[in-house]
Amino acid sequence: MDERLGQSLTKVEMRILPLILAGQSSKDIANELFRSSRTIELHRQHIMRKVGVKMWLN
């Protein structure tokens, strides 16, 4: 992963990103990290904005 990307993402976002890339749903990530699905959705939006992604492809 690009070092600059690692510096721009928070620790939580860095923890969530590999789970997203592995194809896990927000609900699954939320259950794994003991957070709400809505919180994970917000983290997804922040990650997408920071890395310049418009949409995830499944």
Instruction: Answer yes or no: is 11 within a domain.
Output: yes
Instruction: Answer yes or no: is 10 within a domain.
Output: yes
Instruction: Answer yes or no: is 58 within a domain.
Output: no
Instruction: Note the pLDDT of residue 55.
Output: 75
Could you list the residue range(s) of the whole structural domain that residue 31 is in?
Answer: 3-51
Tokens representing 43? Answer: 């983290």
- Give the number of domains in the chain: 1
The whole-angstrom separation of Cα 57 and Cα 47 is 15
Instruction: Note the pLDDT of residue 41.
Output: 96
Q: Are residues 2 and 11 in contact, defined by beta-carbon separation less than 8 angstroms? A: no
- Would you write out the chain's pLDDT as a tens digit for each of its 58 residues? 555 665 689 999 999 999 999 999 999 999 999 999 999 999 999 999 998 887 766 6
Q: What is the pTM of this model?
A: 0.80
| Cβ neighbour number for residue 33 with a 10 Å cutoff | 15
Instruction: Answer yes or no: is 56 within a domain.
Output: no
Instruction: Answer yes or no: is 57 within a domain.
Output: no
Angle, alpha carbons 20-16-2 (nearest 5°): 85
Instruction: Note the pLDDT of residue 51.
Output: 87
CA distances from 32 to 4, 15, 37, 55 (A): 27, 11, 11, 23
Residue found by looking up tokens 């690009």 in the block:
2
